[in-house]
Structure 1
Amino acid sequence: MFVDYSLIPDDAKVWIYPSSRKFYPNEVGEVEQKVKTFVENWKSNDEAFKASFQFLYNRFIILYADDITTPLKNTDIDTSVSFILNLQQEYNVELLDKMNVCFKQGEFVQYKELKDFKKLLKNKAVTAKTIIFDNLITTKHDFDNFWEVAIEDSWYSRFL
């Protein structure tokens, strides 16, 4: 059942899908509606199941699932990945590559391959204080507290 993000418990599972490009203004409403429809129908036969989503910076699709009261099965996760794969194909974006780096440059979110990001660090185009998105986190608590952090406070600090 779809619920507001605020009703999802802190220990809920989180999947973050960073897009290789910002969604265009004419795509945003459409993508949000498709994600909402997916979440509303995800495990719709289980009334105890709670899920939500956020669509942030016109670039990140975040899915939340309370899997404590209703454990997720591999088929449930496969269903969500299949949905994301369909979005990738439909909008010609990359959503599943977790090894690319997303970070803020001013008001803009940048998306770079790790090797290019390392070059930016070496050339001081980004610094230890640059805000980075840690798309590898797995719980709502970590998302709320550690998703947007300075490079120096993230696992990316090893590249400084």
Structure 2
Amino acid sequence: MYVPFENLPEESRVWIYQSNRKFSDVEIAEIENDLKAFLENWAAHGTSLEASYQLKYNRFIIIAVNQEVQAATGCSIDASVVFIQNLEKKYNVDLLDKMNVTFKQGEHIAHKPLLDFKKMVKEKSVTENTIVFNNLINNVQEFNESWEVPAMDSWHSRFF
């Protein structure tokens, strides 16, 4: 069951998928329709999941589930991964590779393999104050407070 993102409790579980390229506005509209349709029918053991999504910067797909109503289970999580894999095929993008880093360079959103990001740190092209997207967050509260943070305040800090 789809609900507005802002109606989810802060403890709601979150999954973040980052694209290796920016989606066009047409693609975003299509993805939004597909997400709503998927979330309307998403269930765990036959019980509808109270879920929502956000699309950010034409690059990130954020899916959230209110675990207080019904927890996402192995099969329902698998279904969401299959949904994301289908988006990867449909739009020829990479959404599941966790070995990439996305960060801000001014108003531009940059997406680099982890090794390239490490080189940029050594070259001082990015600093501890560079805004990074911490896709390891687990719930809505962390998403709201700790998703877009200076590198020094996330797991990226180990590279400085």
State the TM bucket, normalised to the shorter chain.
over 0.9
Aligned to 1:34: 34
Aligned to 2:52: 52
CA distance in structure 2 between the aligned counterparts of 1:158 and 1:43, rounded to whole angstroms: 38
- TM-superposition CA deviations, 1:71-122 (whole Å, max 9, x none): 2221100000000000001100000012210000111111100000011111
- Match of 1:135, SS state, is coil
- Match of 1:77, SS state, is helix
1:147 aligns with 2:143: no
Aligned to 1:159: 159
Contact 1:133 1:148 (C-alpha < 8 Å) held by counterparts: yes
Instruction: Report matched runs for 1:1-160 at 5 Å.
Output: 1-43=1-43, 46=47, 49-160=49-160
- Match of 1:75, SS state, is helix
CA distance in structure 1 between the aligned counterparts of 2:39 and 2:148, rounded to whole angstroms: 24
Normalising by structure 1, what TM-score?
Answer: 0.95
Normalising by structure 2, what TM-score?
Answer: 0.95
Contact 2:52 2:65 (C-alpha < 8 Å) held by counterparts: yes
Q: CA deviation at 1:18?
A: 0.2
What is the one-letter code of the residue matched to 1:15? W
- Match of 1:128, SS state, is coil
Runs of 5+ consecutive residues of structure 1 not aligned to the other structure: none
- Match of 2:43, SS state, is coil
Contact 1:39 1:52 (C-alpha < 8 Å) held by counterparts: yes
- Match of 1:125, SS state, is coil
CA distance in structure 1 between the aligned counterparts of 2:34 and 2:123, rounded to whole angstroms: 40
- Match of 1:31, SS state, is helix
Q: CA deviation at 1:25?
A: 2.5
What is the one-letter code of the residue matched to 1:85? Q
Contact 2:65 2:71 (C-alpha < 8 Å) held by counterparts: no
Percent of pairs identical after alignment?
48
CA distance in structure 1 between the aligned counterparts of 2:17 and 2:100, rounded to whole angstroms: 11
Q: CA deviation at 1:26?
A: 2.4
Runs of 5+ consecutive residues of structure 2 not aligned to the other structure: none
CA distance in structure 2 between the aligned counterparts of 1:84 and 1:21, rounded to whole angstroms: 15
- Match of 1:132, SS state, is strand
Q: CA deviation at 1:127?
A: 1.1
